[in-house]
Amino acid sequence: MSAGQPPFDSPEISRLTPVLGPGHTYSSVTDKISAIVLTRPTSLGWYIGFLLAFSVFGVLNIAIGWLIMKGVGIWGINIPIGWGFAIVNFVWWIGIGHAGTLISAILFLLNQKWRTSINRFAEAMTLFAVACAGIFPLIHTGRPWYAFWMFPYPSVMGIWPQFRSPLIWDVFAVSTYGTVSLLFWFVGLIPDLATLRDRSTTKAKQIIYGMLAMGWRGSARHWHRYQSAYLLLAGLATPLVLSVHTVVSFDFSIAIVPGWHTTIFPPYFVAGAIYSGFAMVITIAIPLRKAYGLEDFITMRHLENMAKVMLATGLIVAYGYFFEFFMSLYSGNKFDVFLVHQRLHGPYAPFYYALILCNILIPQLLWFQKMRTNVVVLFLMSIVVNVGMWLERFVIIVISLTRDFMPSAWGRYSPTIWDWATFIGTMGMFVMLIFLFVRVLPAISIAEMRELVTETSEEHK
Amino acid sequence: MDDMRENDPIDGHRHHPEAHEATSHADNHSDEPALDSTVDEHSLDLAAVRAKLRETSGKHYWRTLEELAGDPHFEDLLHREFPRQASEWDETVDRRNFLKLAAASLAFAGISGCRKPEQLIVPYVKQPDGMILGKPQFYATAMAFGADAVGVLVESHEGRPTHIAGNPDHPSSLGSTDVITQASVLNLYDPDRAQTVTNLGEIRTWSDFLKEAEALVATAKAQGGASFRILTGTVASPTLAAQIQNVLKQIPGAKWHQWEPAGSDGPREGSKLAFGRYVNTVYRPEKADIILSLDSDFLASGPGHIAYMKQFYRRRKLSEPSDTMNRLYVVEPTPSVTGSSADHRLPLRSSDVGQFARALASKLGLGGSGTLSPAAEKWLDAAAGDLEKNRGKSLVVAGEFQPAEVHALAHAINAALGNVGTTLYYTEPVEANPLNQLESFTGLCADMDAGKVSTLLIFGSNPVYDAPHDFDFTSKLQKVATSVLVSTHFDETAEYCKWHVAESHYLETWGDGRAFDGTVSVIQPLIAPLYHSRSAFEVLAAFTDKPGLTAYDAVRDRLKSSAPAADAEKFWRKTLNDGVVRDSAYAPISVAPKFSAANLPTAKAVPAGQLEFIFRPDANVHDGRYANNGWLQELARPVTKITWDNAALVSPRLAEKLALTQRAAARGGEHGQIVSNVIDISISSSNVTAAAWILPGQADDVVVLPLGYGRKNAGFTGTNKGFSAYVVRASTALWTVTAGTEAIKKTGHEYPLACTQYHFNMEGRKILATGTLAEYQKNPKFAHEGDEQPPKEMSLYKEFAYPGYAWGMAIDLNSCNGCNACVVACQSENNIAVVGKDQVMRGREMHWIRIDRYYSAQTPTNDPSTTEGDALDNPETFFQPVPCQQCENAPCEQVCPVGATAHSAEGLNDMVYNRCVGTRYCSNNCPYKVRRFNFLRFQDWETPSLKLLRNPEVTVRSRGVMEKCTYCVQRINNGRIEAEKQNRPIADGEIVTACESACPAQAIVFGNANDATSRVAKLKAQARSYAILGELNTRPRTTYLAAVRNPNPELEKA
């Protein structure tokens, strides 16, 4: 992976470009980051943004409430298209949830310093995305109140889940990923929570942050333990980044549906996940650094590195598309050949062309540094990639189901208002959680940034 | 009705249809009269009633209740018990009084519960000493339908009829059924049924009606009788006909008219034309090598069609390449079930069928002439040659909706071919009173218009809805002083009638009927009437001098003559047991032909380019009488696959000419929602707006207008569905109208139709294997050409041995004509929900077995409105029933996260509803897409009457669970229990699935594939046997036998 290892150094932004703006001291870093949470007054913009997101979150609640009252029939799914928006959104959100842990764990292990200022909120984003994703497999079941049967618990009936089903692997993969990501994030937060505790001015904040800081005093022993724990968790999280989407891709590749049953899915899903994950990090980082004046912490070098990761993973995804087609045609399997024809000429062809445009053609602009360093272009590009990755899942999941083996059973899918409400509702929930996170927790790791202060000042000597 | 009544049938004591007497209904009222007695002013009445009750005891009580009912106060009290008038509840009833009332009610209920059946009805298969709860009983009865009665065995659970199967001893059924018979059990429990007697919409008691009847008879007699009229449909019940005659005798001068909107005078008048009298024609398709149908759908409709189908397909069973088959030629304007399964099909306009018949007669040397197109001429030559080669072994069948001349010609042709006596014979008419119904009905309408009718009794007809529009029946009906309608629903006609009497369902009454060959069967009730309904017989009795005569007595009396007096009881029991009166079929008669084709005036050929509109009864709702039956509404029409609507059917060429199109909607698409153009049809000086449907294989310039839709007051299910073709049907053109192309105008509107299978292309996949007899003889394994069967070891999992039973199914595509009987049988057996048009349009219908229809024509697109290559002008059509394939390597089982679908040791792919969480992964992974999901709560859990309908042996699924065909696992287990009790293996044929049992063509065979001697194993061993998508290594237990057509080599050469 080319992440963080630019193939060439350009004069404007090279690896020598600092990942922390010049002139920062320990206290300036601490002040600046903790101020967002503790001292700066809550801006009107935050309130407006939060309320907007909160009302969209309300839509999600209404949509889920209605769903539980009436059943999944309020969605557009049918026979033969048993999975629609819910699973598309699930895979999409899980994909987005890949960047955080990747940045925190893999880049940490690879000792990529530039990860420091983006890892915290990338991890938070991961958690929120996994939370959004986790809603879907639960509510997409016909009887969500029995969804716990998918967990292996000792039931009096002596019944276990059916372990051959990829959905069970999914349950393990996603819940493990969620748990480890949460722990990793929380362990990383502990020194910062202690900082917030120490700087809190009100009793309530002191108590809350104090409890969350779990008695952190910053002793050498604490730091020693902390760093081994963090390293261990990073090591633990790293394979999970690869495994989650691999397992999610099994949901499809294990099935016999033409368009699902492909061995290329695991690597191509993982690459796609990182692709969309980085796109989402960029989507959030750009407004965030602008709104809170964090340009010194999230510098152009961060953005450019992330753009490079996007370009690289985008190319892997393009390779996946190509080989999916090639293998379908090369295999001579009539159902697979038909699928290619169906994607190019079937009733859903526009979606496929839009997918190619969003995921392959437009991101080629990232070859140019001018584009990579243009914040507006980068922001728009990240949105395009997110749309493209959503379309990819739609094409794979829904369109493959519309026309499989028996022509007599072919059908079509179109989402209902409740499909949209649920999808947009999870976006509201995601944004709402991001707003809350930014407001109550340090969006950038104070402790790690302080380390950077030493290192950058040494570099500058 | 009130709760007590609804719950009655569950009561173990009430399952016997003992309540056949007029008196018994009075006791049904008796449950609660005490309640009202204090509520209204006559509080003294309760005491009086009590006193009267105290005077009597036991059975006598019930005879005296009528006297009680005669008491004006008591009568009023009865009248007020109906909950519709619950407003009369008086709040002055305090706790003390309430308890008194409750006690009184209880006393009454107790009396009712002690009743024993007075007459015995005899179970057909198992005669238990006493009823064993949880064990169904099977009773033989019959469903009268037009000039036929279909013998059925009705499954009854604790007194609730739940499922209908054919009666093997009955000539009309031979053990199978059709869709309407299967679905008739739902009519019984239809919550929209009329429930009582009403006068101008106000509820009345039966005695009110009796009084009125007496007065009407007196007035009619005083007026000379001619003002008293009876209108019925076709009556084939000897007892009912005798009762009508009784009334006519009672009132000299009174007249009996008949009108069957979807029945044609063609066959009757044709026989009169041919033989000078009405005769009934009985076919024996089994004996015919060559059959030519002149627009006759004899395999799927008309008297005897179930038997005909059974006989016809006996001649199409192949086990060896050396086996022979019959050959079917069909000339017809629109693809019917019969035509779609023909070896040769020639689409001709309805009027050209007449020309064809004339040309055929002339070719066979009978004189006359007909004009045909060169292509049709060629086809005729081949068919005529074949018929001539097979003299005495051929059969020409004229269609019901063809005019009399075509029938007469068919009679003449059959006579000339020496078929009479071998492949068909003639009998006395099955109808009790055959007459020209159009004349009869026209006469009635004229008399009504002239004010000559003061009393009109209408039985089971709905003329306000279905009379020809030029009769303007509604306004004429308003000129009749007293009109009485006896019908199951408060329908369109009921709104204009003074009296309405709720008619009992055939499962609630005694009666009799004649089958298509004259065989008499006794209709025995399975359940006491659910509501205060009466049979036609009882209503007629009110107008005779014996108002108390019950149908039961009348039927028994009638049968007395059939057996020596000493054996009367035994004979009666045997008749009830068998469902038929032995040896009562009409003997063949020989009739002298009085007709010469040469003398037939030549018919003017309708010029090309003129449109021909033809009316046809709907395959499911018939003339509209079954419009409120959800099973029939949701059942996809055999050829069009449309549900919940009718549509004006046009040919692809005509569609192109008129620029009509249709497209799959984004929601549901090919499996659900097709958006079609709306057209305006102006014919017979009237017009109607209809959705157009492009139907491949329809004759050019023909527009089919299916009857039976556009009901305005059919009930919740049937009201305002589709369009009413009756609106443009005139008495002068009942079946065929010709008009210029300007008769159709595209309106620019679109209408969504619920169509369950729009994609008719097989896309080059071997889903349905077909061949010709010659191909089969040359290469018996033709169905396996190009097969890719992966080796058995190619699995991650260990091979499972099935040491015991290995249930399997073989479906012979050579015998399937898509008649749908299996679909409804399955729906009834397995408590399958009806989901409604909206849900069907979303692709969510629930049928466990579906019938796929494919055209063998390969078209570049699936759009029938383009006629590229003329592929769709007359495509070969094939049908394929697809239930769960019960794969041994089931893709669904593998992916279920909770193990809700698992494999049984006998190879069944079991579905555990309790365990299902509803991920739908199994359905996604099912290559056959046979799984059905409860997306919403599709089952009706509230309507009390529908609770009685359900099969207690099958779980009623709620929302959120997957379901699918189980091979009728409940029947398998019943068979196993029986066999294990007797310590023997389950015999072949002992377990019959619902679909197998219903199939008249015996296309479906179920059994133990491990037993090499079983029928199913033998079929599976045939060279024609193949598995759908066998290359996926799913190893389905349901396998198919390739369809083989038997084309005439002469026509093939062309």
C-alpha distances (whole Å) from B844 to each of A237, A342, B435, B630, B922 are: 42, 23, 46, 15, 15
Q: Which helix (H) or strand (E) holds B702?
A: strand B702-706
Report the number of secondary-structure helices (H) and strands (E) in chain B: 34, 39
Of B843, B929, B931, the CB nearest to A406: B929
In a domain, B525, yes or no: no
The type of residue at A142 is: G
Burial (CB count <10 Å: 0-12, 13-18, 19+), residue B142: buried
- Please state, in angstroms and rounded to a whole number, the distance separating the CA atoms of residues B709 and B385: 42
Q: Do A71 and B959 touch (CB under 8 A)?
A: yes
Contact B628, B715 (CB under 8 A): yes
Residue B219 and residue B288 in one domain? no
Q: Does the pLDDT value for residue B16 go beyond 80?
A: no
Contact B143, B177 (CB under 8 A): no
Give residue-wise pLDDT tens across range A151-172: 988 888 888 999 999 999 999 9
Q: Is the dihedral of CA B509, B515, B521, B526 positive or negative?
A: negative
Average pLDDT over residues B31-38: 39
Q: What token pair was written down for B192? A: 């929209």
Q: Does the pLDDT value for residue B1003 go beyond 50?
A: yes
User: Which residues on A lie below 8 Å from B759 (Cβ)?
Assistant: 407-408, 410
| Contact with chain B for residue A163, Cβ under 8 A | no
> How sure is the predictor about A43, in pLDDT bands with cuts at 50, 70 and 90?
confident
Give residue-wise pLDDT tens across range B772-815: 999 999 998 888 887 877 887 777 778 888 988 999 999 999 99
B920: three-class secondary structure by DSSP: coil
Query: Which of B593-602, B612-621, B825-834 is the least confident region?
Result: B593-602
Nearest to B714 by CA among B1018, B899, B494: B494
Q: Which helix (H) or strand (E) holds B439?
A: helix B437-449
B201: three-class secondary structure by DSSP: coil
> Cα-Cα-Cα-Cα dihedral of B264, B267, B271, B274, to 10°?
100
C-alpha distances (whole Å) from B367 to each of A151, B67, B375 are: 83, 71, 22
Contact B311, B319 (CB under 8 A): no
Q: Does the pLDDT value for residue A350 go beyond 70?
A: yes
Q: Does the pLDDT value for residue B31 go beyond 50?
A: no
> How sure is the predictor about B24, in pLDDT bands with cuts at 50, 70 and 90?
very low
Calculate ∠ Cα B375-B378-B380, nearest 5°: 110
User: Which residues on A lie below 8 Å from B767 (Cβ)?
Assistant: 406-408
Q: Does the pLDDT value for residue B103 go beyond 80?
A: no
Average pLDDT of every residue of chain A: 87
C-alpha distances (whole Å) from B168 to each of B150, B236, B440 are: 11, 21, 37
In a domain, A231, yes or no: no
Q: Which helix (H) or strand (E) holds B339?
A: helix B337-340
C-alpha distances (whole Å) from A414 to each of A72, A135, B263 are: 14, 21, 44
| Overall size of chain A counted in residues | 461
Domain total in chain B: 5
Nearest to B227 by CA among B499, B481, B540, B454: B454
Q: Does the pLDDT value for residue B842 go beyond 80?
A: yes
Residue B441 and residue B472 in one domain? yes
B1006: three-class secondary structure by DSSP: strand
Residue B788 and residue B702 in one domain? no
Q: What is the pLDDT of residue B562?
A: 73
What's B669's domain CATH number? 2.40.40.20
Question: What is the phi-psi region of residue A318: left when phi exceeds 0, alpha when psi lies from -120 to 50, beta otherwise?
Answer: alpha
Query: Which of A40-54, B916-930, B958-972, B998-1012 is the least confident region?
Result: A40-54
| Contacts (Cβ under 8 Å, ≥6 apart) of A260 | A252, A253, A396, A400
Residue B360 and residue B477 in one domain? no
Neighbour count for residue A205 (Cβ, 10 Å): 16
Q: Does the pLDDT value for residue B56 go beyond 60?
A: no
In a domain, A178, yes or no: no
- Please state, in angstroms and rounded to a whole number, the distance separating the CA atoms of residues B619 and B649: 14
A436: three-class secondary structure by DSSP: helix
Q: What is the pLDDT of residue B165?
A: 93
Contact B305, B411 (CB under 8 A): no
- Please state, in angstroms and rounded to a whole number, the distance separating the CA atoms of residues B755 and B742: 28
In a domain, A112, yes or no: yes
> How sure is the predictor about B557, in pLDDT bands with cuts at 50, 70 and 90?
confident
Nearest to B892 by CA among B799, B963, B972: B963
Pairing of strands B1043-1045, B770-772: parallel
Q: Which helix (H) or strand (E) holds B903?
A: strand B901-903
pLDDT > 90 fraction of chain B, expressed in percent and rounded: 62
Domain with A61 in it:
26-143+238-460
Residue B636 and residue B654 in one domain? yes
In a domain, A133, yes or no: yes
User: Which residues on B lie below 8 Å from A90 (Cβ)?
Assistant: none
Under DSSP, the state recorded for A398 is: I
Neighbour count for residue B778 (Cβ, 10 Å): 11
Question: Can you give the C-alpha Rg of chain A in angstroms?
Answer: 23
Under DSSP, the state recorded for B424 is: E
Domain with B41 in it:
21-113
Give B122-133 as a 3 state SS string: CECCCCCCCCCC
Q: What is the pLDDT of residue A17?
A: 60
Nearest to B521 by CA among B512, B529, B532: B512
Q: What is the pLDDT of residue B356?
A: 93
What residues 391-410 of chain A have any CB closer than 8 A to a CB of chain B?
Answer: 401-402, 404-410
Q: Do A82 and B929 touch (CB under 8 A)?
A: no
- Please state, in angstroms and rounded to a whole number, the distance separating the CA atoms of residues B13 and B114: 8
Q: What is the pLDDT of residue B795?
A: 75
Residue B328: beta bridge partners?
B291
- Give B940 to chain A, closest Cα distance, Å: 14
In a domain, B1054, yes or no: yes
Q: Which helix (H) or strand (E) holds B522?
A: strand B520-523
| Contacts (Cβ under 8 Å, ≥6 apart) of B538 | B22, B509, B550, B551
Contact B352, B605 (CB under 8 A): yes
A vs B: CB pairs below 8 A: 189
Q: What is the pLDDT of residue B60?
A: 44
Give A131-196 as a 3 state SS string: HHHHHHHHHCCCCHHHHHHHCCCCCCCCCCCCCCCHHHHHHHHHHHHHHHHHHHHHHHHHHHHHHH
Q: What is the pLDDT of residue B783?
A: 87
Neighbour count for residue A399 (Cβ, 10 Å): 22
Residue B626 and residue B678 in one domain? yes
Residue B790 and residue B651 in one domain? no
Q: Does the pLDDT value for residue B8 go beyond 80?
A: no
Calculate ∠ Cα B528-B533-B539, nearest 5°: 115
pTM score above 0.90: no
Residue B253 and residue B324 in one domain? no
Q: Does the pLDDT value for residue B42 go beyond 80?
A: no
Q: Does the pLDDT value for residue B274 go beyond 70?
A: yes
Residue B901: beta bridge partners?
B911
| First-residue to last-residue Cα distance in chain A | 32
B874: three-class secondary structure by DSSP: coil
Q: What is the pLDDT of residue B113?
A: 43
The type of residue at B623 is: D
- Give B854 to chain A, closest Cα distance, Å: 8
Q: Which helix (H) or strand (E) holds B499?
A: strand B499-502
Give residue-wise pLDDT tens across range B479-516: 999 999 999 999 999 999 999 999 999 999 999 999 99
CA A47 to chain centre: 25
Q: What is the pLDDT of residue B49?
A: 56
Residue of B nearest to A142 (CA): B960
Residue B470 and residue B455 in one domain? yes
Domain total in chain A: 1
| Better-scored residue on pLDDT, B867 or A30 | A30
Average pLDDT over residues A23-30: 75
Contact B313, B1001 (CB under 8 A): yes
Nearest to B102 by CA among B60, B64, B46: B46
Interface test with B, best of A78, A252, A254 (most B CBs within 10 A): A78
Q: What is the pLDDT of residue B760?
A: 87
| Contact with chain B for residue A78, Cβ under 8 A | yes
Interface test with B, best of A70, A74, A79 (most B CBs within 10 A): A79
Average pLDDT over residues B815-823: 93
Contact B835, B634 (CB under 8 A): yes
- Please state, in angstroms and rounded to a whole number, the distance separating the CA atoms of residues A402 and A257: 10
Nearest to B531 by CA among B118, B77, B198: B198
| Contacts (Cβ under 8 Å, ≥6 apart) of B1022 | B318, B319, B1041
Residue B202 and residue B334 in one domain? no
Q: Do A70 and B936 touch (CB under 8 A)?
A: yes
Give residue-wise pLDDT tens across range B521-532: 999 999 989 999
What's B417's domain CATH number? 3.40.228.10
- Please state at what angle helix B179-188 crosses helix B821-829, rounded to 10 degrees: 30
In a domain, A337, yes or no: yes
Pairing of strands B1025-1026, B1038-1041: antiparallel
Neighbour count for residue B46 (Cβ, 10 Å): 19
Nearest to B510 by CA among B13, B18, B20, B9: B20
Residue B617 and residue B666 in one domain? yes
Q: What is the pLDDT of residue B918?
A: 93
| Contact with chain B for residue A138, Cβ under 8 A | no
Give residue-wise pLDDT tens across range A225-269: 998 998 898 888 888 888 888 999 999 999 999 989 988 899 989
Q: What token pair was written down for B415? A: 């006579």
Q: What is the pLDDT of residue B797?
A: 79
Residue B486: beta bridge partners?
B459, B501
Q: What is the pLDDT of residue B37?
A: 37
Residue B486 and residue B445 in one domain? yes
Average pLDDT of every residue of chain B: 85
Listed residues B83, B113, B143: the one ending a domain: B113
- Give A420 to chain B, closest Cα distance, Å: 15
Reply yes or no: is the peptide bond before residue A80 cis, omega within 30 of 0: yes
Residue of A nearest to B924 (CA): A82
Contact B643, B635 (CB under 8 A): yes
Listed residues B113, B129, B164: the one ending a domain: B113
